[in-house]
Amino acid sequence: MKRISILAALLTVTIGVQAQMSIFEVGSKEDRADRLYYQFSYAGAINLYQAVLDEQPGNPRVQLRIAESYRKLNQPAQSAEWYSKVIDNDTLISDEDVLNYAEMLSGAGEYREAKKWFEEFEKRSAGKDSRAEHYLNSLNNLEVYFKDSAIYDIGPVNFNSEGADFSPMFYEDGLVFVTGRETAEVRLVQNVFNWDKEPFLDLFYVGPDSSGLFSAPRPWSEKINTQYHEGPLAFFENEERVVFTRNNYYKGRFKISSDKINKLQLYSAKRGVGETWEHIQPLPFNSNEYSVGHPTFMSDGTTMIFVSDMPGSLGGTDLWQTEWNGDDWSTPLNLGPQINTEGNEMFPFMHKDGILYFASDGQGGLGGLDLYTSELEDGKWETPKNMGYPVNTHHDDFGLIMEPNGVQGWFSSNRDSLEGDNIYRIAITRDPYLRIDGIVIDDVTEEPLANAMVTMRGTDGNEMTVETDDQARFSFNLNWDVMYRFNAELRLYDQMNAPLRKAEDTPEAREPLVIRMKNRCWVYDWELNNKDTGEPVLGANVTMYKKGSADSIVLESDNGTYILPLECETNYDLRIEKPGFFTQVIELTPGNIPEPEFEEIVVGKAIEVENIYYDLDKADIRADAAIELDKLVKLLVDNPQIVIELGSHTDSRGSDSYNLSLSQRRAESAVEYIIDQGIDADRISAKGYGETKLNNECANGVPCSDEQHQANRRTEFAVTDIRTE
């Protein structure tokens, strides 16, 4: 199969140092096959391993090596077939082998069997590797990947070759792309890559022809193309500069890592005269010990995202970013776990609209490398979204670029396995979403309502909230064929639901959405102060209940002043609570908002019950006194934790013994009334004080006015205990 293993050959490892053929001719067939395997000559290793099996049928170690070799060559069907022969061999198979088998099955489109082995890997990894979770989520929701398939038109370009063709990039009026095509025009002797016996990769350019197709491809730059791999590239500074991927080969020197591998590096070049490129320089964070490659630039022209397996990577290969200051590059930063996984993220492309396209085999998907999108919001990357079928298949799909208009582009895939990696044209024939615009207005005045919070909820579980702008407008992108509910909220207005709407391709579905909100009838600024100090009370729990309804509103304030939004012709109860204070429930009616007397609970403190009057020499509860005692009953109901003493006091006129007896009878009469209203008898006691606790100097024999004596005739209560249960 004439194709390059993109995943392995272009990032995780690259070129093994080639040994003399005599080395491979020493030892047994299995030893020679192993040497080829460890030198990344997988195509040759497979041939020798199969020769070993002719002599040793069923050798599990050799079968596993063949499975691994086919995996390295990115031939999932063949790899899965060989894994299946040894996967039950517990003494040989590792957890990573189980994952590899599951991935090969998925890459071959064998989803049911793949699910079984992803579940086995998840069990073995005990949830420590997210790849199993991602893949199982994908396999359990495969229908999601096919729901938008009608919006894409995809087809191969006219310049694909029998070799590998992939990773196009915009340049001038055409494309620069990576190719492994065999051509005598490139060099007299074209090197062959031991990995899979394919030619090394070069950069070619293709421009438009008069028919609207592409002209014949030609080598892009003799200065940049070498006898080794050149890979994906990106232009910046109005195409006056370029960063490109190449093997660690600079100024004629071929360098290797400590484990004898030639890694990939990034190089920059500056445009010279015409189409020449000069001043080729390695980037400062290149290393002999790890690979870097696959550059792309954000719209600012200075932030470059690239791929590397450098220390600090979360998986096999990660996406990183660096800044160009005009002279040098900053220390790379990892894009983080929202983008990167334990698998491989690669082939990024930043669209001018801020959309990051990239390929991953660690996010789940349909198998192999899948294409994803993400956007940077408030400095954080959004959860990547799989682009779905037919952009993604169970083969490798990667290297996507999109025109500035966002509706046409090109990407790479090996979906036609007989042709290897090819470049495909992609056109979006229908918007991937139905955009709906709307406005929020006052139901009566039809004035636009800015700063309203509008929430969209779909039957697919998608939910989003946006704020209306200064003209009260909002918009959402809706998934096709999903039913949506819209809800608007705004201070001083009733929450409002708009009619359900289905996202379908009809004029009615595209109509602007108008949400009309009903203004609450009136609003009251209400202060909650301490009765004794007059200071605002902070941290109280204030809840407003609509009479005859279970609806409630929790009011909040950071300064003790509350906004009460009240509907017309509606009564409310306002419940005020705070530890250490008497709980109060106040009735609110339009036009009648009593000021609360929020009082601290102090054990033993006497609190007067006003307007309690008795007939002369009587202890009976009069109707006017009952009204006031009912208020005390309500206080006890609202504060079930308190125990009180009700005390009755007289003035000094009359004998001391008479006054003491009269006050006791009156206190007992009041307590009896309160108990009759449903208050437990163990929560209230009666105490007659007679004239023993006068409020002024009007004792026996002291001449005083009626008003002064009246001040001493009173009924009080005091909290004697606060129960905790």
Which of 208-217, 368-377, 601-610 is predicted least confidently?
Answer: 208-217
**What is the pTM assigned to this prediction?**
0.61
pLDDT at 484: 92
- pLDDT > 70: percent of the chain: 93
Q: To the nearest whole number, what is the mean pLDDT of the chain?
A: 87
Helix and strand totals (H; E) in the chain:
13, 44
Residue 571's pLDDT is what?
Answer: 87
Mean pLDDT of 395-400: 94
Q: How far apart are CA 587 and CA 571, in angstroms?
A: 7
Residue 22 clears pLDDT 60, i.e. is over it: no
Query: How many CA within 13 A on the CB side of residue 524?
Result: 18
Residue 29 has pLDDT above 80, yes or no: yes
Please tell me the least confidently modeled range out of 7-21, 22-36, 117-131, 265-279.
Answer: 7-21
Query: For residue 11, what are its two tokens?
Result: 């990032």
Tell whether the model's pLDDT for residue 19 goes beyond 60.
no
Distance of CA 252 to the CA centre of its chain: 48
Per-residue model confidence (pLDDT) at position 622:
86
Helix, coil or strand: residue 119:
helix
- How many alpha carbons lie under 13 Å from residue 154 in its C-beta half-sphere? 21
The span from the CA of 458 to the CA of 438, in Å, is 16
358 or 563, which is more confident? 358
As beta bridge partners, residue 193 has 198
- Phi-psi category of residue 40: left, alpha or beta, with phi > 0 → left and psi -120 to 50 → alpha: left
Task: Say which residues have a Cβ less than 8 Å from residue 22's Cβ, sequence separation at least 6.
Answer: none
456 has pLDDT over 80: yes
Least confident range from 199-203, 330-334, 579-583: namely 199-203
75 pLDDT higher than 80: yes
pLDDT in tens, 143-194: 888 877 878 899 999 999 988 999 999 999 999 999 988 765 444 344 544 5
Give which of 680, 687, 677, 600 is closest to 631, Cα–Cα. Answer: 677
| Least confidently predicted of 308-317, 469-478, 487-496, 692-701 | 487-496
Question: In sequence order, what are the residues at sequence separation of 6 or more whose Cβ sits closer than 8 angstroms to the Cβ of residue 591?
Answer: none
Provide the 8-state DSSP code for 173. Answer: T
Q: Pick the closest to residue 574 from 604, 594, 560, 557 (CA basis).
A: 594
Q: Which residues contact 200 (CB under 8 A, 6 or more apart)?
A: 180, 190, 191, 192, 193, 227, 228, 229
Side-chain-side CA neighbours of 369 within 13 Å: the count stands at: 28
DSSP 519: B
Q: Could you give the dihedral angle defined by the CA atoms of residues 24, 28, 33 and 37, in that order, rounded to the nearest 10 degrees?
A: -80
Q: Tell me the mean pLDDT in the region 81-88.
A: 94
Residue 9 confidence class, pLDDT cut points 50, 70, 90: very low
Q: Which amino acid is at 503?
A: A
Domains and CATH numbers, the chain: 159-363 (2.115.10.20), 434-517 (2.60.40.1120), 522-588 (2.60.40.1120), 606-722 (3.30.1330.60)
Give how far Cα 126 sits from Cα of 95, 106, 133, 135, Å.
11, 21, 11, 15
**pLDDT tens profile 506-565:** 778 788 999 999 877 666 678 889 988 989 999 999 999 988 887 888 988 888 888 877
The confidence score (pLDDT) of residue 183 equals 64
Residue 600: the pLDDT is 92
pLDDT at 146: 86
Token representation of residue 50: 């199969």
Secondary structure element (H or E) that encloses residue 21, with its range: helix 21-24
Residue 198 predicted with pLDDT over 70: no
Q: How many CB atoms lie within 10 A of CB 386?
A: 20
Does the pLDDT of residue 18 top 70, yes or no?
A: no
- Residue 518 is predicted with a pLDDT of 84
Distance CA 717, CA 556 (A): 32
Cβ count near 642 (within 10 Å): 20
- Name 57's Cβ contacts closer than 8 Å, sequence gap at least 6: none
Predicted pLDDT at 494: 81
What gap in Å lies between CA 613 and CA 514, rounded to an integer? 61
Q: Between β-strands 434-442 and 513-517, what pairing exists: parallel, antiparallel or unpaired? A: parallel
pLDDT at 11: 41
Q: Please tell me the predicted confidence (pLDDT) of residue 127.
A: 78
pLDDT exceeds cutoff 50 at 13 = no
Distance CA 633, CA 615 (A): 22
Q: What is the pLDDT of residues 476-504, one digit of tens each?
A: 988 878 899 999 999 878 888 888 888 87
pLDDT at 685: 96
Q: Are 528 and 576 in contact (CB under 8 A)?
A: yes
Strand ranges (E), 361-444: 370-377, 380-381, 385-386, 397-402, 408-413, 422-428, 434-442
